[in-house]
Structure 1
Amino acid sequence: MPGKLFPLGGPVPEKDVVDREEFLASLQIRLSEGQSIMLAGPRRIGKTSLAYEVLRRLKKQGFYTASIDFFRLSNKRELAISLINACLENRTGVRKTFDALKDRAKTIAGMAKLTVKLEDLEFSLKFLDETNDDTLLDYALDLPEVLAKRDRKSMVVLLDEFQDASRIVDTNIYKKMRSYFQNQENVSYLFLGSKEGMMETLFSNRQEAFYRFATILPIPPISERSWADYITQKFSERNIRINAEIIKEILRKTGGHPHDTMLVCSETYYALLEAEKSDVTPGILRLGYDRALLTLAQVYDEILDELSQRFQVRHILKRIAAGSNVYDKKLNPNETKRIIDFLVSKAIIEKTGRGSYKFTEPMFQEYILREFS
């Protein structure tokens, strides 16, 4: 049975990374030379796909790699175990070495094989069970450099949703991490974050622990030509015809947003299968788009709930979506300015001219227009 034609829901395979070759090559060179990098941008724009692809290339090049996602962690001990497991996988070949140790403790032979691989790192099941959270975290933060030195390797560590580290520990975690990372000669770090304002502050504010620790790189947009080539090729794999005007309409509706474009194409594909057609028509595209927008409704509702903690945010969003002047008599101009700055900082809108703004995600704009009409 064929897999998903347009991958969704996680990092995409290498063949579905669209138009990022130069950027990936730059990331690979910088990280391999020991430079740490920070990438920030809203969720669903492809940061993680890019990060995993560059880790794959570095691993093929002979590097040790590790990755953890702070969004999935809830406390200090989980952070420590997650980082330890990610590091040790390079030596054991087991995704969760800690769990494997517990499972194999029942069989002497299975336990012995893992123990021999880890004995020089002073790591064991007893160590994990009997060590307090603070000591375990210290061990975890030191492990990338220790492992790299012992095995004569260079290592790259991916820290996804890095701004959430303070949520699962406390704000002092950044000082602790910096104290370890800055002395590691064989490890470089790739920091990702979906909250651009927080990430910019963490790496650009001289009061913050990670000030100037990593190079901040903008993620380049995908060109319309590259999207057109990719979409045409993907549909042709299923003997489906799609013309240039339909592709332009897809990109107009999605703005080339990576996740949204994939989603609209995917829903259009399934609509074609149901209709037993092999040509993408305007009618089929409309159906696919509406289905995609319905799929995104929960995501957009959550974004609106978060944004609406600020007074009158929905009012301003509605006016921008409708193309109206954001300033009106119902709201104090200073309050309007604060809301606009807030929305810009959240990467919901971007300035296009004096008093003029647009949504960074056109499908979110369409959702607001339909929801508040």
Structure 2
Amino acid sequence: MGSFVNPFKIGKTYTPENFIDRKEEYSYLCNAVESGNNVVVVGPRRFGKTWLLQKFIAEGGYPVIYLDLFGCFSLKGFVQKMMKQAYELLKGKNPMSFVGRYLKHIAKHVSFSFDVGGISFSIDNDLSDELLIEQMYELLEGVQKDLKKKLVVVLDEFQAYKSISEKLPESLRSFYQTQKDVVFVFSGSMRHMIEELFFEKSGVLYHSSLRVDIGKTLPEDESIEYIVENFNSTGKKIILEDAKRIYRLTKGHPYFLQLLCYELWDKAGELISEEEIDVIFDSLCERESYGYELIIETLEYKYLKNVLKLISEQTDGYFSIANLQKYKIPNATTLNNLLKKLTERGIIEKFGRGKYQIIDPLFERYVMVRME
């Protein structure tokens, strides 16, 4: 393609030119933080939560410590990563001075080293979780005071907190009830776990945060305009109807829209055709089929395939006698239980009253075409 570079992006790295819509959600997030409120960003996997957070980090104007809990497997590792980010946020030049100032109660247990990734901090193994948690909050409080402005701590994939410490949510609540200049932004893709923690009365963090829901798909008109512009300005050509087909196949799912466009730009000819769109979409489905087979085998739910076929082929009336008989589901209770389990697993999402959808459009295609 000469000097042109594939304009479509996938993965966790935010690029402003590839950020579609989410204006309302981003504005709400900024206003909530400005008001000193903690925020929870909720949505299915690969639905753009991390890009929304990275946009906020890049453009929100606040000092931010960002931690992805999927990359942390212990409280010690979590605190070590927080120390590294705090040091870099302060543009520190003397690690010993940093440790002595912000972690004075455990200074003798902390060491540091430098490598290609910058500085790394290490903490001895013989410190209690209680002391580590206490020092973590002292670090945040000290950094905020020295920065003299609101500090935002982003905790991505927060449903994984149990791998760090069961006490983390309770300790967070205690901390931010007394410290108003450190604001927390939580994100989670396992909706039912986040709901239980933040929005049910029994949850430890109930009524502690405002909610930003990334539950809706991308708007059709803006997505189609984005597709056409990015193909036609980089040496390719796509007509409006074919851009609409890309949107329909991916159902406006942010990740899969970018993925299909990326593969099309990379593999198709100069003029994008409807046939190429279908062939490449099916090839993506084939590429993922082994993973989909594993999902089905691992879950081992009786009538799982029946329920998935029902959801992929019907838009409503799931509990009608005709549909239960057609898909050989014994009764409404069985269907309801499976819908609940699949929702908790993040495989399907509820959109409106009594309407469900398989979140991954490639998996939906697999169910419709490959599953008997």
Q: 2: CA distance between counterparts of 1:237 and 1:117?
A: 49
Flag structure 2 segments of 5+ consecutive residues without an equivalent.
Answer: 111-122
Q: 2: CA distance between counterparts of 1:4 and 1:309?
A: 40
**Which residue type is aligned with residue 192 of structure 1?**
S
Q: 2: CA distance between counterparts of 1:73 and 1:353?
A: 37
Deviates more, 1:340-349 or 1:282-291: 340-349
Q: 2: CA distance between counterparts of 1:224 and 1:303?
A: 30
Match of 1:71 in 2: 70
Flag structure 1 segments of 5+ consecutive residues without an equivalent.
Answer: 94-111
Q: Which of residues 13, 20, 29 in structure 1 aligns to 2:15?
A: 13
Q: Is contact 1:28–1:57 with CA below 8 Å preserved after alignment?
A: no
Q: 2: CA distance between counterparts of 1:51 and 1:301?
A: 32
Cα distance change, pair 297–138 in 1 and its aligned pair in 2 (3 A): farther
**Which residue type is aligned with residue 217 of structure 1?**
V
Match of 1:204 in 2: 199
Query: Which stretches of structure 1, 4 residues or more, deviate above 6 A after TM superposition?
Result: none
**Which residue type is aligned with residue 239 of structure 1?**
G
Q: How does 1:1-373 map to 2 (within 5 A)?
A: 4-58=6-60, 61=61, 63-92=62-91, 113-122=94-103, 126-128=108-110, 129-130=123-124, 132-134=127-129, 135-170=131-166, 172-219=167-214, 220-272=216-268, 277-297=269-289, 300-301=292-293, 303-305=295-297, 308-323=299-314, 326-328=323-325, 330-347=329-346, 348-350=348-350, 357-373=356-372
Q: Look up the SS of the partner of 2:137 in the other structure.
A: helix
Instruction: Report the Cα offset of residue 303 of structure 1.
Output: 4.3
Instruction: Report the Cα offset of residue 295 of structure 1.
Output: 3.9
Q: 1: CA distance between counterparts of 2:293 and 2:67?
A: 27
Q: Look up the SS of the partner of 1:200 in the other structure.
A: helix
Q: Is contact 2:102–2:138 with CA below 8 Å preserved after alignment?
A: no
Q: Is contact 2:40–2:211 with CA below 8 Å preserved after alignment?
A: yes
TM-score normalised according to structure 1 size: 0.84
Q: Is contact 1:73–1:79 with CA below 8 Å preserved after alignment?
A: yes
What are the superposed Cα offsets for residues 306-365 of structure 1, whole Å, 9 maximum, x if unpaired? 5x24433233112322438552355243222211233344450436666x6443443321
Instruction: Report the Cα offset of residue 211 of structure 1.
Output: 0.5
Cα distance change, pair 353–66 in 1 and its aligned pair in 2 (3 A): closer
Instruction: Report the Cα offset of residue 218 of structure 1.
Output: 1.7
Q: 2: CA distance between counterparts of 1:302 and 1:310?
A: 13
Q: Look up the SS of the partner of 1:67 in the other structure.
A: strand
Q: Is contact 2:5–2:234 with CA below 8 Å preserved after alignment?
A: no
Deviates more, 1:80-89 or 1:184-193: 80-89
Q: Is contact 1:68–1:83 with CA below 8 Å preserved after alignment?
A: yes
Q: Look up the SS of the partner of 2:67 in the other structure.
A: strand
Q: 2: CA distance between counterparts of 1:311 and 1:55?
A: 44
Aligned sequence identity (%): 23
User: How many residues matched?
Assistant: 345
Q: Look up the SS of the partner of 2:12 in the other structure.
A: coil
Q: 2: CA distance between counterparts of 1:326 and 1:353?
A: 18
What are the superposed Cα offsets for residues 146-183 of structure 1, whole Å, 9 maximum, x if unpaired? 2101331211111111111023323x332122222322
**Which residue type is aligned with residue 277 of structure 2?**
L
Cα distance change, pair 214–337 in 1 and its aligned pair in 2 (3 A): same
Q: 2: CA distance between counterparts of 1:85 and 1:229?
A: 41
Q: 2: CA distance between counterparts of 1:305 and 1:14?
A: 39
Deviates more, 1:158-167 or 1:292-301: 292-301
**Which residue type is aligned with residue 309 of structure 2?**
K
**Which residue type is aligned with residue 88 of structure 1?**
Y
TM-score normalised according to structure 2 size: 0.84
Q: 2: CA distance between counterparts of 1:351 and 1:23?
A: 18
CA RMSD of aligned residues (A): 2.5
Query: Higher helix proportion, which one?
Result: 1
Q: Look up the SS of the partner of 1:8 in the other structure.
A: coil
